[in-house]
Homo-oligomer: A and B are copies of this chain.
Amino acid sequence: MFPRVKGANDFFPSDFAALAKIIGQLSLACQKYGFNQVMAPSIETVKLLTAKSGEETKNQMFLLEKKSSEENALKYDLTVPMTRMFVSKQRELAKPVKWFSVDRMWRYEAPQQGREREFFQISVESFGSDKPEADAEIINLFIDCLLSTGLKDKEFVLKVNHRKLLEGILQDIVPKGKTEAAMRIIDKSAKLEEQQFFAEMEKAGIDNTRAARIKHATDINGTLDEVDKKIAKHLELNELALEGWKNLKAALSMVKHKNVRVDLSIARGLAYYTGCVFEAFDTEGVFRALGAGGRYDQLVQLLGGEACPATGFAIGYSTLSLLLQHHKRFPQAALGPDYSIVPLNEEMLPEALKLAHQLREKYTVDIDIMRRKIGKQFDYANGIGAKKVIVVGPEEIKSKKFTVKDMKTGKEEKKKLAEL
């Protein structure tokens, strides 16, 4: 037997049905907000893929063996290829451009629960607006996406922050050259013990006193009003932080959901984000992040476009599935056909086939292709979850009335074709 590749999943019928159902729910949520679906290729140039993230990220990519001078790799997110698509038509497209995509992507990382090497995400991008309305729309849609899958709002929380707020506060504590390093440590602080946090800061040249001040500041979290009080002194004379906070407040004032918390420890990577940032987690804190997003006003220009503000988010299928399973709300599909047709013997096959073709105008219909005895055919119909079984024998053909057996109740009824 040939094994499948490590970190990649097979989707058997019930797995696929669940994937399709959840993708359908997420897509509908996006469509309701006026977003249209797009799709970029799986393969992009390494030049494009490293433009944002730098050459060092190449070792997390699946690179393709060179066939020509072009160096290509599998995409590792959807934002970069979608932004490339946007840039290629930037001038002709009316702004804002509101797109989403549901697709596979690939990262060479150690597989673990909720993290595969080949995985699915929905990615939503809004190009063209620098207004808090755009951030609010993205946050509202993000939460509506999660709710659309059957999650309840008490089961997850959205933690939001603003890059300018955080940067401003950090600038008051550490020299400007060290804010990026500090940000990187804050970004992973949820996974660090307190001791590790201080050790990492020390390594980055930030002493314990300053690290303690950073910790104190980034420990701030709560509702908009709660945080408003807690951060008042951080905003004094700090224009950058104040601008960030005002912008975040304006966006959140238009968010209709209650499961949003401001959390100053949300940093979301490095140079990528420029404004609001957010991450969603299951309330019990059992799983990895469900999804994340934020404003990225510099990416379009970085990828060769004209300067253009943008904001968006992504939700991964893996963690979402785990959380839905955890709450016993993962979709269970009924895969069987509406009808299974059981020809009594080989001679009945032409009439049985005719019936199958007629019923297929309205229904999903299976019919024996193994020339099995009637008992085995019933076993199979039962095994695949057929809802009803119709036996076709000489009597049925003559009377043009078929015995329909409901496989759930066991009830039998005689029906004409037109009554089926």
Contact = CB atoms under 8 A, between A and B. Distances in A.
Interface stretch (A36-44, A208-216, A225-233): A36-44
Contacts of A63: 64-65
B13 A37 contact: yes
Interface stretch (A130-138, A157-165, A186-194, A404-412): A130-138
Contact of A369 (B2, B3, B62, B133): B133
A43 B62 contact: yes
A247 interface: no
Interface string A50-67: 010000000000111101
Contacts of A96: 369-370
A203 interface: no
Interface string A298-315: 000001110000000000
A88 interface: yes
A6 interface: yes
A210 to B, nearest CB: 39
A131 B20 contact: no
Contacts of A345: none
Interface residues of A, number: 92
Given A2-B48, A94-B384, A369-B131, A16 B38 contact: yes
Contacts of A10: 38-41, 85, 88
Interface stretch (A275-283, A360-368, A393-401): A360-368
A193 to B, nearest CB: 31
25 contacts: A2-B45, A2-B303, A4-B40, A5-B43, A8-B42, A10-B40, A10-B41, A10-B88, A11-B40, A16-B38, A31-B364, A33-B360, A33-B365, A34-B364, A34-B367, A41-B118, A42-B106, A64-B64, A64-B74, A94-B383, A131-B371, A133-B370, A133-B371, A140-B357, A254-B349
